Amino acid sequence: MSATGYYNGEIGPIESMRVPMNDRAVYFGDGCYEAGLAVNGRLFRRDAHFDRFYRSLAGLRIPFALSREALQREIDRCLAASGEPYASVYWQVSRGTDARHHTFPDETVSPNLLITVSPKAPDLSGAPMKLLTVPDVRFFMCNVKTLNLIPNILAIQQAKEAGADEAVLHRDGVVTEGSHTNIHIIRDGALFTHPLDRLILPGVTRGVLLELCRAQGIAVYETPFTIDEMKRADEVLITSSILGIHRASMIDGAPVENRADALYRALVSAYRDCFCGEMRI
């Protein structure tokens, strides 16, 4: 089925929607976004997504007037219009529509809200993924979920052309995150993940994974690790709101040994239970 689109209150098939050329998202990517999975009209970990979204708005100094409750009502309208029982939900706010100039518009210009709802079943399989390491050439605001994703796009395209599923970004050999995921390793029965700072996005599913580890007594260390440490790890995990939790099968063309199979399968099972329980499926 066609995706459902929304722009400043208007809803329709995405092919029929129009965005003004002077929307600052078009000129500058001047905005932020969120994306998550919904089942029967309910967004998984909605509060965590909303927390991150409003932090991103604050980080970009965008004066978005809608409250969480009002934003939820607009998302609900889109979900109802789509009629999809399983869907991915994307929403973004740009700084507004104004003539092109680098400084902020004046206070009479209101931010623009765009939402899309597309058919998407949750992936709870934990299927393996192939990874390719790529230098991280992004700026130092990776914790803000901005629309400026050109380095990420170039990285995932490089991975695709190399036959990989995801790019692992690194700064001078220290792993930060994936092009659209968080990256973690398991070593000696413990989970290691990059700390929350301006170099990575605070992933919602990253947070779920840490909850699951701690609930099962698995030690969690929020500390940087290198490409070499990743390649020697017992497991390499990939997480995102759309993908869920997966393991790496190859990195840069070399196989990953997957020496912590039982632990990995326990985490995937726990994530499946968490998702299905919260979504009531």
Catalytic residue, from 120, 130, 145, 231: name it.
145
Per the rule left: phi > 0, alpha: psi between -120 and 50, beta: everything else, 62 is: beta
Q: At 57, which helix (H) or strand (E)? A: helix 46-60
Spatial separation of the C-alpha atoms in residues 106 and 198, rounded to whole Å: 28
Sign of the C-alpha dihedral computed for residues 157, 162, 165 and 167 taken in this order: negative
- DSSP secondary structure code for residue 104 in this structure: P
| DSSP secondary structure letters along 66-103 | --HHHHHHHHHHHHHHH--SEEEEEEEEES-B--S-SS
Q: For residue 9, count CB atoms less than 10 angstroms from its CB and return exposed for 0-12, middle for 13-18, buried for 19 or more.
A: exposed
Nearest to 230 by CA among 160, 165, 161, 173: 173
> What is the longest distance spanned by two Cα atoms in the chain?
58
**145 catalytic per annotation:** yes
Catalytic (active-site) positions = 145
